[in-house]
Amino acid sequence: MDDILEKTTIHIDSDYASFTSDSEFYVDIIDDIKNCIYLKTLKTEVFVKANYPTSATDYNAEESSYIENSIFNNKTTAEEQKNPIERNVFNTGDYIYISLNDINRINTISKKITVKTFDDIESNINNHNFGLIWTKVDKTPLDYPLSNDDAYNNLYEFNTITDANHSKALIIKDFNAMLKTKADTINNSGNTLATTTEELNDIITFTEQEYINMGLFDYKTFLKENNYYHHITLNNIIYRYVPTYIGYTKDNKRLNKHTWNFISKIDNTKADIIKYVYTNSKGPLLNPMNKVYNYKVKKEELNTLRYYDSIYINKPTIYKNLLTSPECYILSYKQELSGTSCGPNDTNTMVLNPILPELKRFNVKLWRINELGEHVEIPITNDGVFRVIMSFTVYYKRKKVTRV
């Protein structure tokens, strides 16, 4: 007695589904489907409410889109100011991924990036050249409120010690004088001296012999990661130098980890705004997709992820809703089968595991790629993505009944 291959087409609409969370919904069918053989995807469509521009008079079909704020802030005149970078949630060339139960017919490689923050700046205290290289920075703890709490880490404070028997103070005063001279001398010419803070040398170096000649034989143990040199002259030239690794903030400011720790202690909000480290002094740079690309990377994680279907992000179909106030545009992204082939080996077909139980409930979830390459769930709400429509055909076997 041969089995009969039959099929049934399922239509799912999130408007008539039950939600387990903002990003997952399910549909139950009345009659379960037994002995499923394979599934053929027909259509997956996602509807999005455009949220840019926000003014009804500015809306137009070419420029309206669905945007979000980047995790990065753009340059500002003050480091405590937030200036979020706007980016499209769905960017041309990306995909929307769809999960349907445990039916996985698409594999994709993801690369999740963890951005380096000032917390992640490496320590160089054990490097052989620690203390030999000093870097000009734009901020030290003395530039912030409560700076008196950290003044003892400033080597310039040794200059205020008047005790002629304080041998260490005498040595550090010599060091401070040499550091200032090295900072002042432009291009090591010996003749041209800096007249502004900006003209001071970015990098100054010492040799071990110079330390020995000053009597600072123990410079590697005397200097700590929280030491720095900060001094303002009568001509308002500001000397800020550190012996440790530095990073660049969004506003092109050079900080070392100790100053960052001080900022974090006194102002968490400001610290959160400037926490990301960039590869150069230009602040965040944007590619044509308005994506920041010059941040420093702490870690990359590669993974293979599996989904039921995907929608390639290209120019959407755009609908105008005149009934809303203000008027708005609706964007439609769609993946739809073309052609009538329905063989189990087609790319739009997924052969099902024969030991799986019958199909009765269909669970659906959407995913997108965020700006750091991570696959994140897409909430389905009244703003942004608000509706999902799917259709697919299930092929199953039914026992042939012989009538006598």
Please determine, for residue 184, whether its predicted confidence score (pLDDT) is greater than 70.
Answer: yes
Domain membership of residue 287 (yes or no) is no
Three-state SS at 355: coil
Domain membership of residue 141 (yes or no) is yes
Please determine, for residue 2, whether its predicted confidence score (pLDDT) is greater than 80.
Answer: no
Both 91 and 229 in one domain: the answer is no
Structure tokens at 319: 């609908």
> What percent of the chain has a predicted confidence (pLDDT) above 90?
68
The answer to whether 46 and 334 are in contact (CB under 8 A) is yes
Residue 80: the pLDDT is: 85
Residue 293: the pLDDT is: 95
Both 138 and 264 in one domain: the answer is yes
**Pairing mode, if any, of strands 238-242 and 133-136?**
antiparallel
Structure tokens at 183: 């900072």
Domain membership of residue 297 (yes or no) is no
Domain membership of residue 280 (yes or no) is no
Of the candidates 312, 338, 388, 311, the one whose C-alpha atom is nearest the C-alpha of residue 40 is: 338
d(CA 45, CA 330): 12
Domain membership of residue 296 (yes or no) is no
DSSP 323: T
Cis peptide before 326 (omega within 30 of 0): yes
Both 132 and 268 in one domain: the answer is yes
In terms of phi and psi (left: phi > 0; alpha: psi -120 to 50; beta: otherwise), the region of 219 is alpha
Model confidence pLDDT, tens digit, residues 120-144: 999 999 999 999 999 999 999 999 9
d(CA 232, CA 146): 18
Q: What's the length of the chain? A: 404
Average pLDDT in the 67-72 region? 94
What burial class does residue 29 get, using C-beta atoms within 10 Å of its C-beta: 0-12 exposed, 13-18 middle, 19+ buried? middle
Confidence class for position 52, pLDDT limits 50, 70, 90:
confident
Both 71 and 141 in one domain: the answer is no
Both 245 and 314 in one domain: the answer is no
Min mean pLDDT across 2-11, 191-200, 366-375 is at: 2-11
d(CA 187, CA 201): 8
Both 133 and 223 in one domain: the answer is yes
The answer to whether 392 and 40 are in contact (CB under 8 A) is yes
Model confidence pLDDT, tens digit, residues 139-159: 999 999 887 889 899 999 999
Domain membership of residue 80 (yes or no) is yes
> What percent of the chain has a predicted confidence (pLDDT) above 70?
94
d(CA 66, CA 54): 11
Both 33 and 15 in one domain: the answer is yes
Domain membership of residue 364 (yes or no) is yes
Residue 197: the pLDDT is: 96
Both 124 and 252 in one domain: the answer is yes
Of 273, 289, 319, which marks where a domain is finished? 273
The answer to whether 56 and 326 are in contact (CB under 8 A) is yes
DSSP 98-133: EEETT---EEEEEEEEEEPBGGGPPP-TTSTTTTTE
In terms of phi and psi (left: phi > 0; alpha: psi -120 to 50; beta: otherwise), the region of 258 is alpha
Three-state SS at 214: helix
Write down the pTM of the prediction.
0.86
Model confidence pLDDT, tens digit, residues 347-360: 777 788 766 667 88
Both 134 and 69 in one domain: the answer is no
Both 351 and 390 in one domain: the answer is yes
Count how many domains the chain has: 2
Residue 299: the pLDDT is: 96
Domain membership of residue 98 (yes or no) is yes
Residue 279: the pLDDT is: 92
Which range of residues forms the domain containing residue 361?
3-114+307-399
Of the candidates 391, 399, 389, 396, the one whose C-alpha atom is nearest the C-alpha of residue 13 is: 389
d(CA 182, CA 193): 10
Model confidence pLDDT, tens digit, residues 108-120: 999 999 999 999 9
Please determine, for residue 313, whether its predicted confidence score (pLDDT) is greater than 60.
Answer: yes
Which H or E element spans position 332? Answer: strand 328-336
Both 81 and 207 in one domain: the answer is no
Both 211 and 136 in one domain: the answer is yes
Confidence class for position 240, pLDDT limits 50, 70, 90:
very high
